[in-house]
Amino acid sequence: MINLRRTLYQLRYTNLAYWRNPSSALFTFAFPLMFLVIFTSLLGRHTFMLNGHLTHQTTYYVAAMASYGLISACYVNLAMVMTFQRDTGILKRVQGTPMPPASYLAARVLHALAVAGLLIVITAAFGRVFYQADMPTGLALVRFLAMFLVGALSFSALAFAVSSIIPNADAAPAVVNITIMPLLFLSGIFIPLGDHTPTWIVWVGKFFPVRHFAEGMQSGFLGTAFHWSDVAVVAIWGAVGLVVAARRFNVEPRV
C-alpha cells in the first residue's frame, strides 16, 4: 500500500541523490540536446509534408527529441536503475524497513516523471530559442500534457516489466537498448518516416507504443492532428507492462 508521506520523503531523497551525482544527470540531459543539434545540423534545414502538414525539420526534431527525453528518463534509466538496485540488494533491504515497497517504487516513478518533464521543458526552450520552434498552447497544451502523463506512466510500467526479465545488472544496458533503439528508428524519432517508407516499417511502428507516443507529442509542436487513439494505444501498452511487472517483478538479487 502506498503511504503518501513516506512516498514524498523517499522522492525527496531520490531527487537529492540524483542531483548529487552530476555526471549521471549531465548525460541524461545532454543526450537529447546533443541529438537535437546533430540531427538539425545534418537534416534540419528543409521542409517536408507530414500528414498533410508542411513541417520544418528543425521543429520536427524538437518534438522528436522531447519524446526521446521522456522515453530515456522513464524507460531506459528507470529499467537500469531497478535492475542495479535489485542485484545490489537495495530493493530487498527496503522490505526490512518501515518504507512500504509500493511507496518506494512510486517515488522512483515520480522522480522519473519529474526528470522527463524537466527534459521536455529544456528541449522545448532550446528549440524555441535556436530554431524558433512553436510551443504547445491552449487546447493543444492540454492534449500534450495528457499524452505526457500517460506516456510517462506507461513507459515507467514497461521499465518495471523489462527489468523483471533482465538476468543481471551487467546485461541491463544491452537488454534495455535492444528493446528500445530499433523502435526509435522504426517510429520516426531519429529519421522522419516519409511516403516511401517500407510498409513493414510502418506496421511495426503502429504496433508498438513509441510511434503513437511521438505522434501525440508532435501534435503540440507541429500543429498536426491529435488522435486520442494514440493515447489509448500507449495506455494499453502501459497496462500490459503493469501486468507483466506485477507477475514477474522480484526484489531477490540474481547475482
Question: Is 255 among the domain residues?
Answer: no
Q: 86-113, pLDDT tens digit by residue?
A: 999 999 998 888 888 889 999 999 999 9
Question: Is 229 among the domain residues?
Answer: yes
Picking from 216, 149, 208, the residue whose alpha carbon sits closest to that of residue 181 is 208
> What is the predicted pLDDT for the residue at 220?
84
Of all residues in the chain, what percent carry a pLDDT higher than 90? 60
**Set of cell numbers at residue 170:** 551487467
Separation between Cα atoms, residue 26 and residue 159, nearest integer Å: 21
> What is the predicted pLDDT for the residue at 4?
85
Q: Domain total for the chain?
A: 1
Separation between Cα atoms, residue 49 and residue 178, nearest integer Å: 30
Across residues 52-76, what is the average pLDDT? 88
Report the range of poorest mean pLDDT among 46-60, 73-87, 143-157.
46-60
Is 48 or 106 the better-scoring residue by pLDDT? Answer: 106
Strand partners, 54: 49
| pLDDT higher than threshold 70 for residue 52 | no
> What is the predicted pLDDT for the residue at 98?
86
pLDDT band at 255; cut points 50, 70, 90: low
pLDDT band at 191; cut points 50, 70, 90: confident
Across residues 38-47, what is the average pLDDT? 80
Q: Domain of residue 89: give its range.
A: 4-248
Is 24 or 62 the better-scoring residue by pLDDT? Answer: 62
Those residues with Cβ within 8 angstroms of residue 198's Cβ, 6 or more apart along the chain or in another chain:
none
| pLDDT higher than threshold 90 for residue 27 | no
Strand partners, 50: 53
> What is the predicted pLDDT for the residue at 1?
63
> What is the predicted pLDDT for the residue at 54?
72
> What is the predicted pLDDT for the residue at 196?
76
CA 208 to chain centroid, in Å, comes to: 14
Separation between Cα atoms, residue 164 and residue 114, nearest integer Å: 23
> What is the predicted pLDDT for the residue at 243?
96
Is 235 or 57 the better-scoring residue by pLDDT? Answer: 235
Question: Is 240 among the domain residues?
Answer: yes
| pLDDT higher than threshold 90 for residue 140 | no
> What is the predicted pLDDT for the residue at 118?
94
Is 60 or 238 the better-scoring residue by pLDDT? Answer: 238
Question: Is 45 among the domain residues?
Answer: yes
Burial 175-188 (b: 16+ CB within 10 A, else e): bbeebbeebbebbb
Strand partners, 53: 50
Question: Is 166 among the domain residues?
Answer: yes
Question: Is 254 among the domain residues?
Answer: no
Strand partners, 49: 54
